Amino acid sequence: MGGPQTKDEEVRRVEAALSGDEEAACAIRKPETTKKLEQILVGRGATPTEAVDIVADVWSDCFDSHGGRRPLLAQYHGKGNLEAFLSRVALNRLIDFKRRQRFRGQLPGKYGRADVRGGGDPFDQLPGESGVTPGEDRLIDLLRQALLTSFSHCDPEELLILKLVGFAGVGQERVARIWGWSQSKVSRNLSATIESVRAETLRHVRRADPWLELEWDDFINLCKNSSDFFEMDTTDRDSSA
């Protein structure tokens, strides 16, 4: 009933739900939203059972505190719509789950499964895992690295033309004059570069996670709804300066 919720309305609803408003919580956790999230996961490589389990865990974490962490919904601040936020969280959980499965399958003998007596998981013993909330950053890292890899495969001149036209807003006619080309050649060059970026980006995603069924439109929409996509990690840079 009524039109789509604005971001401000969604933020207010989330705040109300976190304050204990049952009506607001039910409005967020609608059966149709649950079904849509499950369909998104199945469409990206999850089995129906995996999708049901992951979405159930997402809803549980949305409203409850676990292990001293805040409820998941407390991380939503209106950057993008709520459904996109939940979809990204669910996809992160799926990536995390599938990578754990693959890691266990590569371990010999008893190390191929969790140590039940110790309550541990071999995946969590990998360097760099401690202190990281499982799955929160895997999707954005995958998208970013895939795009950077695709740009690294571009011819420098073709990439420069793409930057001038696509990012700097320079007209194709002007680029044609600078290069001494016809405008149709510039247009063909741009189309070929864009197709190369698209193909190489998706190849990288499939190499990293062969089970993940992402199409180009999925990639674009996930990037658009990830406000931190271009926030590069600087923690590994030389800090000696």
Please count the residues of the chain: 241
Res 102: pLDDT: 76
Instruction: Please give the CATH topology (third level) of the domain spanning 140-224.
Output: Arc Repressor Mutant, subunit A (1.10.10)
Quote the tokens at residue 102. 């693959």
pTM: 0.68
Instruction: Give me the helix-helix angle, 7-18 and 82-106, nearest 10°.
Output: 70
Distance CA 149, CA 161 (A): 18
CA angle 72, 73, 79 (to 5 degrees): 115
CB of 103 closer than 8 Å to CB of 123: yes
CB of 172 closer than 8 Å to CB of 187: yes
Res 104: pLDDT: 60
Res 132: pLDDT: 33
Tens-digit pLDDT profile for residues 174-203: 999 999 999 999 999 999 999 999 999 999
Q: Give me the average pLDDT of each 10-residue run along the chain (241 residues).
A: 66 92 93 95 93 95 79 86 89 90 59 42 35 55 90 92 93 95 95 94 90 86 66 42 35
Res 233: pLDDT: 46
Res 129: pLDDT: 29
Distance CA 135, CA 15 (A): 24
Q: What's 240's DSSP letter?
A: -
CA angle 180, 181, 183 (to 5 degrees): 130
Res 190: pLDDT: 95
Dihedral sign of CA atoms 29, 35, 36, 41 in order? positive
| Domain segments of the chain as ranges | 7-129, 140-224
Quote the tokens at residue 150. 């695709």
Amino acid, single-letter form, for residue 185: K
